[in-house]
A and B are shown apart, each in its own frame.
Chain A
Amino acid sequence: MSDITVSGVTPGRTEHPASTAEVAEILRAAAAAGESVIPTGAGTKLSWGNPPTSADILLDLSALDQVSEHASGDLIATVGAGMPLARLNEHVATAGQRLALDEAVPGATVGGALATNTSGPLRMLAGTMRDLLIGVTMVRADGVVAKAGGKVVKNVAGYDVGKLLVGSMGTLAVVTEATFRLHPVPQGRRWVSVAARDAAHAAELTQAVLHSQTVPSALEVDATADGTRVDVLVEGRPEGVAGRTAVLSGLLPGAETSDQPPAGWGRYPWDDATASHVGVKVTFRLSGLADVVAAAGGLGMRGSAGVGVAYVAVPAERGIAEIRAVLARLRETAGRHGGSTVVLDAPQAIKEELDLWGPVPALDLMRRVKDEFDPDHRLSPGRFVGGI
């Protein structure tokens, strides 16, 4: 037997549906029996969020891993929720295309990435899951199968229910299939990296790149005890990349360029948060970068400075008092700069001592949405904001 837990809670049993129809059947039975259901893909983020208040059924969607359609001429693909992101990208790469969404957590599935709204450096170019998702098939808490969106990139018929599901941590409906817009794989890519003297200097360099007309695909800052680095990725035609790299090198004196990503590119600054670190995500206005780097201090941070997102790893051994203090400091700083500070992952014992989300505006309205979609609170109950 497996010893899988959802934030420390052991599910009653695991179901392995292989189709949307089977998911619907399981959810109808669960509705009749009043059982709670927690969807999962590869299980890479089951330790995220609050512990569920109930976990009768773990709904393992990893068998829904088919490509239903890849219309390369239309730059769209429809895949099962259990399809690993990496495999999806291998598949569409055969047509010179990609889903422009980084695999932030290795092994993650499409459904898991959707439910947790993970992203990486490429978000500066193409946005996040919400910007790439154009349609979903979902099974509601009552077992009803419904679709939202469609198979064309442009579509304003009705509400964009798919956006509500993005980042909802499996609390509104079970996503079984998703349709994405794809982007062409660029012919060339090049990284331009430079060391910054300190937080203020990193912010200055970041602003210089932002206001340039080089259109980077990514703009990351990596601050560690060893120093602070600004890394810029440009992608495009070889001639274009060469020209833009030259402009960037002028803006970032002393920069080095490479065809290979710098160390740690697109990875959180922790290896295994569940065991040893508290993994924190901080968001902020672009002009708040220097303050966020300063607030992270000796802990360092890494993230998409070009869009206002950073990740901070706090070693669990620091103890709860210090972890709380760090969180408070980051929250105060992010709050001042229009953002938020969320604990993504942490050792279970520590997580229970923390407010994972901080202030959540419009929480009442969110509860009303939850009540409409899942009136009995049986889908991933308690894992999300405000105990949703």
Chain B
Amino acid sequence: MGLTPLETLIRRARALLPEDGVITDHARLRTYECDGLAHYRVTPALVVIPETAEQLAAIVRCCAELQIPYVARGSGTGLSGGSLPHAEGVLVVTSRLRAIKEVRREDQRAVVEPGVINLDVTRAATPVGYYYAPDPSSQQVCSIGGNVAENSGGAHCLKYGFTTNHVLAAELVAADGDRVRLGGDAPDSPGYDLLGAVVGSEGTLGIVTEVTVRLVRLPEKVVTLLVGFDSTDRAGAAVSAIIAAGIVPAAIEMMDALAIEAAEAAVHCGYPDGAGAVLVIELDGPAAEVDAEYADVVRLCGETGAFEIRTAKTPEERFLIWKGRKSAFAAVGRISPDYIVQDGVIPRTALPEVLRAITELSERSGVRVANVFHAGDGNLHPLVLFDDAVPGAGEAAEEVSRGILDLCLQHGGSITGEHGVGADKAAHMPKMYAAEDLDTMQLVRCAFDPDRISNPGKIFPTPRLCGERPGRRQGAHPLQEAGVAEVF
């Protein structure tokens, strides 16, 4: 009698889930108030932790019936506020959906639940000689469901592609609570490639409850090089020369002097003294192929002015080279109390120009920027450093960070290469896409989730009213006028 929709949902959730799978206690709710982008915080109205896909679907069905928004959360490592909760909504956490259901060597496939940790897929496949290729730096903690939602990349995506190239099928709990199968175990499922739309949709088209991934045969040989240059220009020239020679390394990562300083301070990775930039280059594949490429890479680095070329001779040396790179984000904490991790993309050939422009931006504003990036595909991760204790420093850093995104767009790039739009960059979407482009994307949203209850407020600065005939909208959006929709 007289229960609010939320109270009704809580009652039903308690009937559906084990006791510790329903969290309403305020102090405990607060532990879910942010993801990896900690300056956005919202306490959810309710947290549920289902143990089966059936339970999860039942919760979503209740949400649909009661028109309560919900947000999926994997490991909460996202860097764009994608799993930022909704204050009147439910946070659906997948951390108990952690079964690796199948590892089938003969089919080169694994079937996993969404809460499974990325690295655990590789761990399960390695005994039969395989691995899961997409390797975000957060792979020890991030979930496959989160990877699917963000279309996550990693250092090795230059050669092997992103999550979208490795996911063959998924079960999706649609916004009405129905469970639908997208894609298949075999390639080229008949009909529209709905899976292709769901990967990278940041939880706005439903919640993925099962994922079939491609497993890749472990390479016969891996060679990792650490190459020191006096400047990022020289390092950039080396990257261009390698690509122009028709070599596709497994990875080419670049770090500038400030990023190197931070990594040294944090993990003592022993990068070359006095380097203005280092490249971490990895070659993998059949031994005969890798040996031929290696000779060329060493020659090209020498020709472009490398002052030190180090090749890992043992797994420990390889680990140390990668440790410097993979710990870069956290390491920056050693040289600055606060920092913003930016994620933008440029055409790789614009690298020298954009890096110079970032330096200028940094000098003009007095805000330090450390650069770490996937140089092979032009995905920049500038780390904008500041001290929040200094009045105005946060704002100045924000401005530099935004300026870097503008630089990416001026060069025909993207506002995000792997961290997603989430809550953080929705306001930037109109800078990258015309209103018609965003409207077209939202047609997809309308097909999957016409009531916009699945992760509302993310990706799009202005929601589209579904069912409205395209092309005829004038003036302010009706939902906006009614005060229903927020404008970022």
Q: Which residues of A are at the interface with B, using a C-beta cutoff of 8 A? A: 71, 73-76, 96, 117, 119, 123, 127-128, 130-131, 138, 140, 142-148, 150-161, 163-164, 166-168, 172-173, 183-187, 207, 210-215, 236-244, 247, 281, 283-288, 307-309, 334, 337-340, 342, 357-358, 360-366, 368-369, 371-373, 375, 384-386
Contacts of B197 in A (CB 8 A): 159-161, 163-164
| A304 CB, min distance to chain B CBs, angstroms | 9
Q: Once the chains bind, are A244 and B434 in contact (CB under 8 Å)?
A: no
Within 8 A of A (CB), among B336-359: 345-349
Please give me the residue from chain A that is nearest to B418 by CB atom. Answer: A156
| B373 CB, min distance to chain A CBs, angstroms | 11
Contacts of A146 in B (CB 8 A): 434, 436-437, 439-440
Does B141 have its Cβ within 8 Å of any Cβ on chain A?
no
Q: Once the chains bind, are A140 and B470 in contact (CB under 8 Å)?
A: yes
Contacts of A361 in B (CB 8 A): 180-182, 184, 189, 191
| A21 CB, min distance to chain B CBs, angstroms | 14
One of B55-63, B103-111, B394-402 at the interface:
B103-111
Contacts of A339 in B (CB 8 A): 184-186
19 other contacts beyond A154-B417, A309-B187, with CB at 8 A cut-off?
A: A123-B187, A131-B165, A140-B470, A142-B470, A145-B436, A154-B162, A154-B377, A159-B200, A159-B445, A159-B459, A163-B196, A167-B193, A213-B218, A236-B285, A237-B289, A239-B288, A309-B186, A339-B184, A358-B190
In the assembly, what is the distance between CA of A372 and CA of B345, in Å?
A: 31
Please give me the residue from chain B that is nearest to A172 by CB atom. Answer: B192
Contacts of A212 in B (CB 8 A): 217
Does B286 have its Cβ within 8 Å of any Cβ on chain A?
yes
| B293 CB, min distance to chain A CBs, angstroms | 7
Contacts of A363 in B (CB 8 A): 191
In the assembly, what is the distance between CA of A374 and CA of B443, in Å?
A: 10
Contacts of B85 in A (CB 8 A): none
Q: Which residues of B are at the interface with A, using a C-beta cutoff of 8 A? A: 104-109, 129, 150-151, 153, 157, 161-162, 164-165, 174, 180-182, 184-194, 196-197, 199-201, 217-220, 240, 243-244, 246-248, 285-293, 345-349, 374, 377-379, 412-421, 425, 429, 432-434, 436-441, 443-448, 459, 466, 469-471
Contacts of B437 in A (CB 8 A): 146-148, 158
Q: Once the chains bind, are B188 and A309 in contact (CB under 8 Å)?
A: yes
| B230 CB, min distance to chain A CBs, angstroms | 23
- A96-B246, A283-B186, A339-B185 are contacts. A157–B439 as well, Cβ < 8 Å? no
Please give me the residue from chain A that is nearest to B440 by CB atom. Answer: A146
In the assembly, what is the distance between CA of A82 and CA of B212, in Å?
A: 35
- 8 pairs from A and B in contact (CB 8 Å cutoff): A71-B349, A142-B471, A144-B471, A215-B217, A243-B288, A360-B191, A364-B180, A372-B466
Please give me the residue from chain A that is nearest to B348 by CB atom. Answer: A74
Partner of B190, one of A144, A166, A183, A357: A357
In the assembly, what is the distance between CA of A150 and CA of B433, in Å?
A: 9
Q: Once the chains bind, are A369 and B345 in contact (CB under 8 Å)?
A: no
Closest 9 CB pairs of A and B: A243-B288, A163-B196, A338-B185, A240-B289, A339-B186, A184-B246, A213-B220, A283-B186, A155-B414
Contacts of B184 in A (CB 8 A): 283, 338-340, 361
In the assembly, what is the distance between CA of A258 and CA of B52, in Å?
A: 53
Q: Once the chains bind, are B190 and A161 in contact (CB under 8 Å)?
A: no
Contacts of B447 in A (CB 8 A): 365, 368-369, 371-372
- A140-B470, A285-B185 are contacts. A131–B161 as well, Cβ < 8 Å? yes
- A152-B412, A158-B433, A167-B188 are contacts. A365–B174 as well, Cβ < 8 Å? yes
Q: Once the chains bind, are A128 and B188 in contact (CB under 8 Å)?
A: yes
In the assembly, what is the distance between CA of A146 and CA of B153, in Å?
A: 26
Contacts of B379 in A (CB 8 A): 154
Contacts of A215 in B (CB 8 A): 217, 219, 285-286, 289
In the assembly, what is the distance between CA of A357 and CA of B188, in Å?
A: 12
Q: Once the chains bind, are B188 and A127 in contact (CB under 8 Å)?
A: no
Contacts of B378 in A (CB 8 A): 74, 152-154
In the assembly, what is the distance between CA of A360 and CA of B218, in Å?
A: 34
Q: Once the chains bind, are A164 and B192 in contact (CB under 8 Å)?
A: yes
Contacts of B151 in A (CB 8 A): 156, 160
Please give me the residue from chain A that is nearest to B206 by CB atom. Answer: A365
Partner of A152, one of B196, B244, B346, B443: B346
- A74-B347, A140-B440, A239-B291 are contacts. A340–B448 as well, Cβ < 8 Å? no
Q: Pick from A186, A214, A237, A247 the residue with the most CB of B within 10 Å.
A: A237
In the assembly, what is the distance between CA of A375 and CA of B471, in Å?
A: 12
Contacts of B186 in A (CB 8 A): 283-285, 288, 308-309, 334, 337-340
- A144-B470, A167-B193 are contacts. A156–B150 as well, Cβ < 8 Å? yes
Contacts of A283 in B (CB 8 A): 184, 186-189
Q: Once the chains bind, are B191 and A362 in contact (CB under 8 Å)?
A: yes
Contacts of A360 in B (CB 8 A): 190-191
Contacts of A236 in B (CB 8 A): 285-286, 289, 292
In the assembly, what is the distance between CA of A158 and CA of B416, in Å?
A: 9
- A156-B420, A168-B192, A309-B188 are contacts. A287–B107 as well, Cβ < 8 Å? yes
In the assembly, what is the distance between CA of A3 and CA of B65, in Å?
A: 54
In the assembly, what is the distance between CA of A361 and CA of B191, in Å?
A: 8
| B446 CB, min distance to chain A CBs, angstroms | 5
| A213 CB, min distance to chain B CBs, angstroms | 4
| A210 CB, min distance to chain B CBs, angstroms | 7
In the assembly, what is the distance between CA of A334 and CA of B433, in Å?
A: 41
- A159-B201, A372-B446 are contacts. A128–B471 as well, Cβ < 8 Å? no
| B166 CB, min distance to chain A CBs, angstroms | 10
Contacts of B164 in A (CB 8 A): 160, 163
Partner of B286, one of A160, A244, A284: A244
- A127-B165, A164-B197 are contacts. A154–B108 as well, Cβ < 8 Å? no
Contacts of A144 in B (CB 8 A): 436, 439-440, 470-471
In the assembly, what is the distance between CA of A249 and CA of B151, in Å?
A: 38
Q: Pick from A74, A76, A157, A237 the residue with the most CB of B within 10 Å.
A: A157
Contacts of A145 in B (CB 8 A): 436
